[in-house]
Structure 1
Amino acid sequence: MISNGNAFSLQNFEEQVSKIMLQRGQEYYEAGAVEDLEDNDGKWTAEVEGSETYAVSVTLKKDDKIVQYYCDCPYDGMICKHVIAVLYEIRDELIKRIAVPKKGSKKNQFEDLLLKISAGEYRVFIKDYAPKNKDFKLAFELFFADKDGRIDTGKLYTDIIKKLIKKYTGKGYMDYRSSQSFAKEVNQLVDKGFGFADKKNFVEAFVIATVALKEMIQVITYCDDSSGALGDALINITELISSIALGDDAIMDMKERVFGFLQTELTDGIYFDYGDFGYELMDIFQTLAEEINKHEEFLGFIDAWLPRLANRNSRYQEDFFETSKIEFLKAIGREEEAGELIVQNMEIVEVRQAEVDKAIDNKDFILAKNLVGEGIGIAQEKKHPGTVTQWEKQLLRIALLENDLLLVRKYYKQFAFDSNWFSIDYYRMLKATYSADIWQGVIETTIKDITIKTTKKHGGSKWESLNSSLLSALSPIYIEEKFTDRLFELVKQETDIDRIMKYHNDLVFTYAAELLQLYIPALEIQGDNATERSRYAQLVGNMKNIMKAFPHEKEKVIAVAKKLKAKYPRRPAMLDELKAVLL
């Protein structure tokens, strides 16, 4: 950021910055990376799409002099490419303003002109202009499509989407930013489809949905959709199809049309290779098959898919289709066939779970436990620890129904102190099974066991101190049991400000002065280790929180900020962030 800017303006900034940075900023500007540009009485703000979305602000005087500028990117130099892109955008906007007619011009000149033109003149203009402007012709035909049944709206919508694909694709690839913009425009078209559906024009809504789906599913194979924008658009299309086929106002003719479309389209494996939309569409397909009595067609579809899945070596998809077939056979009353398939597919978790549920409902706990035990063995053989845990929770469920207190406590403790996280819910359920006096002995033993286990697991690791490992493992217990003194004994040995402040609310009422003594040196350590703007912002955030917690001691925090400012005069991003504390 600058604050004097006397020789720095919109007219000469290109001469004031390095050629490399200027080129990068210009590229961002020309690529349309500057978004949401706003002017608030000379204070301009915008967002710039880079590797992330960065916030930029620029303050101008009336003579276009640049008084201040700011960007929250990590760049430490004089001016970053994001600010330069915004300067270009501001200059462009100001030029546009100059071109706007002055006061006194007719505000409704265009509307007045429309009123003066005759219907014949309209026709002559449209007939002459439409061949020269394909976008206008396309929009015109779509708007008036209901006036002429010969107009193929499917082709028109396809042309629109293909044009968008071409617009946002470069060298056979759609990048991150382009994917977002493309998805935004497709969603606008899909929203139009929802509008048609609301008006019960299901035919036009279905045309939009099918065209958008078929084109989008191809695009997702060659794009960067790490933002999830295209995936969300496909889910949006799926919801439109669902509203057309399964909504309260859905008609039989449309149910038939949607069923036929899905029966054909879902033979393409691409729908199941990217995201969950293929499975969402399968749910619609299956529901329709039940509603409109297309039993054999649906079962034939499943049977045609299963051999293909074996060849594709796709266990998840194969399990999904087998489970769908079983559920469908049950739904249409063909229990015997469903039973045969269940026996053949007991390795599928969902199939086995359904049988466990049935056994529990029948209070046949022995059978239920046998089924779960077999499921655990299968999961262990496949090395699926998550599935093992899932089955163990079924054993807990059964133990609760059988009032097996020892087994209940075993699983409560296991799930409370999972190796990857601490569960406060299971901890409290475990505690509730003991009287207060017995619990004291239980928890002390547990703390001792965790300490031994954590120390052994740490094994002199260089990545984290033993104290930090013990703090992570024991702090949930100390907080829940209000063992504040023990918690502070571990916290006071830490030097990382973020780790210390994590326990601020748990300790501040008992150890306020001691905490402040820990915070001050830890802030300086954080400042010494910070190397980019996001870390500087985190540092300043911690400073603000400490000053808020200790308003009478804020000078101590300010002293740290001053010390860091003096120590690192060549870190402009740090100095810029520290202003929030020093001003």
Structure 2
Amino acid sequence: MITISNFEKYVLPQILMRGEDYYESDAVLEIEEESPGEWIATVCGTENYEVTVSMEGNEIIAWECDCPYDGNICKHVVATLLAIRDSRNKVARFLSAKEVDSQVSIPEKNAAKMVMDEEMEQILLFAEPDKLSDFVLKYASSHSDFKSALFETFLPKKPVAKLSVDYQMEIEKCFNSAYKNGPKRGRYYEPEIDWDEVSGKVDGYLAKATLLLQRQDLEEAATIALQILRSIGNNHIEEDFLYNDDDIDFEISCEDAGDLLLEIVKHSGASQVLKENILNEATKISKMATYREYELYDMDELVQQIMFSVQSKEEALLSINHLIEERKEHRELYKLVLRKVEILEELGKTVEAEATLSEFLYLPEIRRREAEKLLNGKCYEKAISMLNEGIVIAEKAGEYGILREWREQLLSIYEEVHDVAKVIEMCRLLFIHTNGSLDYYHKLKSLISSTDWKEYLSTLLQETTFFDYWGSGNTKAEIYIEEKEYDKLFSFLSTVEYRRLDALVQYASHLNATHSSEILSLFTDDLRVYAEKNLGRSHYEYIARVLRGMRKLNGGKDVVKQLVDEFRVLYKRRPAMMQELGEF
């Protein structure tokens, strides 16, 4: 029976908290008891909502709110019930003398019971929920009978022979009923899912499943955990579900549900039938698009862990073989392969384990593992052969990150065995591959004789594609500076097509002694084009910064004065530019 004193236990925690916030912030604008037991209230939310409550004595018979919430009791009803409780408390906190007198004619035993019941009702009317919860917790911890009655009332044991579907509609409803009002479109509000509310409801079911597990109600706990994973999978079609703006991480909910299932299958009280049911259901869930196409949660890994706890090694091996065949193109196929190898080794089938590794060496993760084993054993020739095979595969597949990794592994081997010629060749290939990494440039310079270096470097630079990075530094320009090749640096800067002004600002100081007049000419040409094409304070500030840099170059003051005079005539109708040029 829902009463004005106990309705909180029938409300979801998130909804209760929000309803309390509404009430405490005076969102209940109007409330009136139109006739005995019939209450009507106006509650301010996204808009004003009308709430009606019907009561018989302390019992709540019916309630209604015209908000779009599709659950049982919404936050507006909660706020109204709190207002009703407060209103009734102000009218009368205790039984009046007249009411007591009217009970004298009742037989003594029944009269005492009725008085006690009324007193209990009155206490519950003004008892603070937090203090009441603390009292129940404290009393239950020291009175086993009360604790048993509490559990039996709220978590009755349900003997189940197999996984039930009692929670399917309940948990699925968490995702279908948590709507809030979105942006207003004409006369209507566009509904949006309140992901914070969804998360709160799911967490509530996870907490219940954890408690059921502690009480060894394994079947029901498993049902809840599986349904949470299934419902999250079912709702992947909602774009906002995976990319919500509320920082709600449903991966954690999946992990908690998965951990619960693992605890259950490893539990000494779990029957083989229950374990197999969990494995079958988890396998079906793992095929859902949410877990296949998005990196929300690794259901495959969960299925494998359950499999090891449920099946014999021979059965697990058959299942793994089936999964490998089914997921040949899956990006994490290597995990299944390593599981298979692990099982084969545990079964003493070492030859078959080695054959499996050889079959899947085309997977970078497997090749990396085997190469590390060879390197740890100082088997350098075999490791080099394996890495060279990997390079061929990576080049064909266009996997340039893997290609670089294998070459870096080879470089470390050649350095360890002091094969200088091979070290030079790997550094050359890596320099080209990384579009001119200064690390490999410095290594090459330390290894090649000074008499051969200039010619070697010239060829290397021609073989390499460089990117125009300005601000953080350009590798080709940095090399010319380090080599003191100022003619080449100027030639390079003069041919830059993208953001040449930035390049000139960054490297002009290195050419001041040798090419100041040419650099100033490039500055002038580019700055004229920039000023013509760009409007706005930020652009004018940039022009002023460039001019300051130009003044520091040999002959720069005269060039800057001439350019500023030109701009003052051409752009006199740009007051913001005139302000920025004031210092000149």
- TM-score of the superposed pair, with normalisation by structure 2: 0.54
Distance, in Å, in 1 between the alignment partners of 2:168 and 2:569 is 68
Alignment CA distance shift 1:499-1:259 (3 Å) = farther
Do structure 1's residue 447 and structure 2's residue 451 form an aligned pair? Answer: no
Counterpart selection for 1:129 from 40, 43, 63: 63
Distance, in Å, in 2 between the alignment partners of 1:579 and 1:163 is 61
SS at match of 1:302: helix
Counterpart selection for 2:435 from 407, 410, 421: 421
Q: Which residue pairs with 2:407 in the alignment?
A: 392
Alignment CA distance shift 1:239-1:252 (3 Å) = same
Q: Which residue pairs with 1:478 in the alignment?
A: 480
The Cα of 1:581 is off from its aligned counterpart by: 4.7
Matches within 5 A, 1:73-222: 109-110=26-27, 124=54, 127-130=61-64, 133=67, 135=69, 137-138=71-72, 140=74, 155-162=169-176, 185-186=194-195, 189-190=198-199, 193=202, 206=225, 209-210=228-229, 213-219=232-238
Distance, in Å, in 2 between the alignment partners of 1:326 and 1:403 is 38
Do structure 1's residue 522 and structure 2's residue 526 form an aligned pair? Answer: yes
Letter paired with 1:124: S
The Cα of 1:403 is off from its aligned counterpart by: 1.9
Q: Percent identity, aligned pairs only?
A: 12
Alignment CA distance shift 1:423-1:187 (3 Å) = farther
Deviations 1:416-448 (A, max 9, x none): 232x622223333334446xxx3x445422332
Contact 1:244 1:254 in 2 (8 A): no
Contact 1:263 1:301 in 2 (8 A): no
Alignment CA distance shift 1:511-1:306 (3 Å) = same
Deviations 1:517-544 (A, max 9, x none): 54343133134456xx8xx688456336
Deviations 1:363-403 (A, max 9, x none): 11122222223333444555655544443333223212322
Alignment CA distance shift 1:550-1:331 (3 Å) = farther
Distance, in Å, in 2 between the alignment partners of 1:355 and 1:116 is 79
Q: Which residue pairs with 1:49 in the alignment?
A: none
The Cα of 1:412 is off from its aligned counterpart by: 1.4
Letter paired with 1:364: C
Unaligned runs of 5+ in 2: 1-22, 40-51, 79-128, 130-150, 157-164, 183-189, 212-220, 268-274
The Cα of 1:347 is off from its aligned counterpart by: 2.9
Alignment CA distance shift 1:322-1:162 (3 Å) = same
Contact 1:520 1:556 in 2 (8 A): no
Contact 1:138 1:156 in 2 (8 A): no
Alignment CA distance shift 1:448-1:424 (3 Å) = closer
Distance, in Å, in 2 between the alignment partners of 1:187 and 1:282 is 27
Distance, in Å, in 1 between the alignment partners of 2:524 and 2:462 is 33
Q: Which residue pairs with 2:48 in the alignment?
A: none
Letter paired with 1:159: K
My pick for the range that moved more, 184-193 or 198-207, is 198-207
Contact 2:436 2:476 in 1 (8 A): no
Alignment CA distance shift 1:359-1:159 (3 Å) = same
Report the number of matched residues: 425
Q: Which residue pairs with 2:381 in the alignment?
A: 366
The Cα of 1:453 is off from its aligned counterpart by: 4.7
Alignment CA distance shift 1:558-1:134 (3 Å) = same
Counterpart selection for 1:237 from 250, 259, 282: 250
Distance, in Å, in 2 between the alignment partners of 1:292 and 1:231 is 39
Indicate the structure whose relative CO is greater, using CA pairs within 8 Å and at least 6 residues apart: 1
Distance, in Å, in 1 between the alignment partners of 2:561 and 2:498 is 18
Alignment CA distance shift 1:111-1:421 (3 Å) = same
Distance, in Å, in 2 between the alignment partners of 1:425 and 1:356 is 25
Q: Which residue pairs with 1:281 in the alignment?
A: 299
Distance, in Å, in 1 between the alignment partners of 2:287 and 2:304 is 14
The Cα of 1:415 is off from its aligned counterpart by: 0.7
The Cα of 1:405 is off from its aligned counterpart by: 1.8
The Cα of 1:230 is off from its aligned counterpart by: 6.5
Unaligned runs of 5+ in 1: 1-105, 169-177, 459-463, 570-574
Contact 2:394 2:402 in 1 (8 A): yes
Distance, in Å, in 1 between the alignment partners of 2:431 and 2:255 is 41
Alignment CA distance shift 1:317-1:489 (3 Å) = closer
Contact 1:193 1:240 in 2 (8 A): yes
SS at match of 2:361: coil
Do structure 1's residue 264 and structure 2's residue 284 form an aligned pair? Answer: yes
Contact 2:437 2:475 in 1 (8 A): no
Distance, in Å, in 1 between the alignment partners of 2:387 and 2:360 is 15
The Cα of 1:360 is off from its aligned counterpart by: 1.5
SS at match of 1:338: helix
Distance, in Å, in 1 between the alignment partners of 2:400 and 2:370 is 21
